[in-house]
Amino acid sequence: LKCSRLALDNLVGNFVHQLVVRVLCGVVYAYLIGAVCSIFTALERDRNEYFDSMDRLNEFLAEKTVTSTNPELCTVLRLFYRFSYAYERSSASLKQIMQKVSPTLQGQLSHQVHRKWLENFPLFKNVTLSMPFHIKLAMSLETMVVGPMEAIVEPYQIADKLYIIEKGIIMGKK
């Protein structure tokens, strides 16, 4: 009887020990999976924001019945969102970088990024531009994304801005 009692205590002790170890391993495994998932989510933050904004757009269009009454407008809006997502990421990144680096690096970076179009711009063709000018120019540029067939400037409108077409085609009327 003593032998069987000792074997039973040993068996119960091993079972409890194995159960505790398995539960702890499961908790650690779940924690690691959660940590890995959060890393991937953080890496794709911009992409997730884009999908969230696209979802909100689609919900709004459906709620206001734009989807059924004007599907062409929905298509244009979605294309605009797609294009602006890709383009605004790169321009926002430049401004963030420029705000964090030293003035010397700001000048070198803005010169490198804007050199090509500045050299071809007729107003600056035969002029040597200073680093402070490059910095002020780079920091003052604002990105504007325009959809297809959308007017940038109306005829006879007073021009108070200089538009630099970085990507795309512009058409004018005579």
* pTM, full prediction: 0.52
Q: What is the largest CA-CA distance in the chain?
A: 109
Along the chain (174 residues), what's the average pLDDT of each consecutive run of 10 residues? 56 74 90 85 78 92 91 89 75 76 84 80 79 77 78 84 80 72
Q: What's the pLDDT score for residue 59? A: 94
Q: What's the pLDDT score for residue 144? A: 80
76 within 8 A of 148, measured Cβ to Cβ: yes
Q: What's the pLDDT score for residue 58? A: 93
Q: What's the pLDDT score for residue 7? A: 57
125's CB contacts (< 8 A; 6+ apart) are: 119
Q: Write the Ramachandran bin of 122: left for phi over 0, alpha for psi from -120 to 50, otherwise beta.
A: alpha
